[in-house]
């Protein structure tokens, strides 16, 4: 009399049979719900609970780092017209500097939303000068000159590179410069 144990169904998808269980809470989970971790497969609830442990940013970290990122990005955007040839090299360096200053201010506290907020603030700080060069480019195009398009393109390149450098530097992808 070989009796088979009753078939387990996924906790999140009751119509899917499974033999897989969460390595933490032992809930039955299907392959769609399973998240591979270094210690085995886990359910979404256990992974979500673990991620909250790692988010340690405080409310004032968002304000202080946003202010710093806006100011430093704005200052950096002022140098692009003067150092136009080096814009592609200096923009990621400026992003790295902004990210490291913000990291020092929050003293190793972290949160994915904090990194996104800092990146948004960096982009916001580069917008005023970008919009000024856009307006100047439109006026110059109306006069028949294409020279100011280069200035606008360099400002746009700065905005993109500095913002992406800040985000990737803070979120864990290290750019080697």
DSSP category for residue 28: B
**% residues pLDDT > 70 (the chain):** 90
Token code pair at residue 40: 């085995």
Bigger pLDDT: 1 vs 146: 146
Q: Which residues of 31-47 are buried (b: 16+ CB within 10 A; e: fewer)?
A: eebbeeeeeebbbebbe
Residue 16 DSSP label: S
122 in Cβ contact with 98 (< 8 Å): yes
Q: How many CB atoms lie within 10 A of CB 139?
A: 11
* Helix axes of 59-79 and 87-106: crossing angle, nearest 10 degrees: 160
Q: pTM of the prediction?
A: 0.68
The residue-averaged pLDDT of 24-50 equals 84
- E strand or H helix at 42, and its extent? strand 40-42
Rg for the chain, CA atoms, rounded: 24
Identify the band that residue 177 occupies on the pLDDT scale cut at 50, 70 and 90.
Answer: very low
Name the most confidently modeled range: 57-61, 150-154, 160-164: 160-164
110-129 mean pLDDT? 92
Between CA 160 and CA 168 the distance in angstroms is 12
Residue 111 pLDDT > 90, yes or no? no
For residues 48-62, give the mean pLDDT: 75
Q: Which of 83-87, 92-96, 150-154, 170-174 has the lowest mean pLDDT?
A: 170-174
């Amino acid at each position: 009399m070989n009796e088979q144990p009753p078939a387990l169904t996924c906790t999140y998808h009751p119509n899917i049979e499974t033999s897989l269980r969460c390595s933490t809470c032992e809930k039955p989970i299907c392959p769609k719900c399973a998240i591979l971790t270094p210690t085995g497969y886990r359910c979404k609830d256990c992974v979500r609970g673990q991620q909250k442990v790692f988010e340690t940013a405080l409310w004032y970290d968002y304000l202080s780092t946003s202010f710093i990122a806006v100011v430093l990005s704005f200052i950096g955007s002022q140098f692009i017209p003067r150092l136009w040839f080096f814009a592609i090299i200096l923009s990621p360096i400026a992003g790295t500097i902004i990210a490291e200053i913000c990291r020092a201010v929050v003293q190793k506290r972290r949160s994915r939303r904090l990194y996104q907020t800092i990146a948004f603030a960096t982009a916001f700080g580069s917008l005023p000068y970008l919009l000024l060069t856009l307006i100047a480019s439109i006026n110059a195009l109306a006069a028949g000159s294409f020279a100011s398009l280069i200035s606008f393109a360099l400002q746009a390149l700065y905005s993109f590179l500095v913002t992406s450098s800040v985000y990737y530097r803070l979120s864990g992808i290290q750019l080697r410069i």
